[in-house]
Amino acid sequence: MTVIGPNERSLVDALDEPALVIEAGIVRLANAPARKLLGAGIEGRDVRLAIRHPQALEVILGKTSGEVDATGIVEPGRSWRLIVRRLWPSATLVRIRISPSYRIRLPVCEEVADILARCARPGVPFPG
């Protein structure tokens, strides 16, 4: 394995979004947002214990860069976009973002919840 020094850690820690450096299937570095999202003891462990999603793992452990949307990595129903980039032959940078499709659905869900809450009050007619 490649020696990871303070410069590499500084680069990963500078990212605002959760970010991991995976080398040979092991989480070598995880910034604070990633540790908060996936667990404080994630570094030094097999990435398959942190990210239990077959399509996401296929991209992470594959030989090329790519992106994948995955639902349920951290909590059921929540969608994430994983952006995977090769750093060197055996290492990968994984950035984790809330999926754009999840952001689009969220306001719609809030609007539906608001309508249902208004309709649950006595004497309020159902819209439509």
3-state secondary structure (DSSP) of residue 54: helix
With contact defined as beta carbons under 8 Å apart, do 96 and 23 qualify? no
Task: Kindly report, residue by residue over 104-122, the tens digit of the pLDDT.
Answer: 445 555 665 666 666 655 6
Report whether pLDDT(60) > 90. yes
pLDDT at 128: 53
Pairwise CA distance, residues 106 & 46, whole Å: 32
Range 6-119 classified under CATH 3.30.450.20: yes
3-state secondary structure (DSSP) of residue 95: strand
Task: Kindly report, residue by residue over 63-112, the tens digit of the pLDDT.
Answer: 889 999 998 887 778 889 999 999 888 899 999 998 765 444 455 556 65
**Nearest alpha-carbon partner for 80 in 98, 104, 101:** 98
What percent of the chain lies above the pLDDT cut of 90? 52
Q: Where are the domains of the chain?
A: 6-119
Pairwise CA distance, residues 66 & 23, whole Å: 16
CA–chain centroid gap for 104, Å, is 17
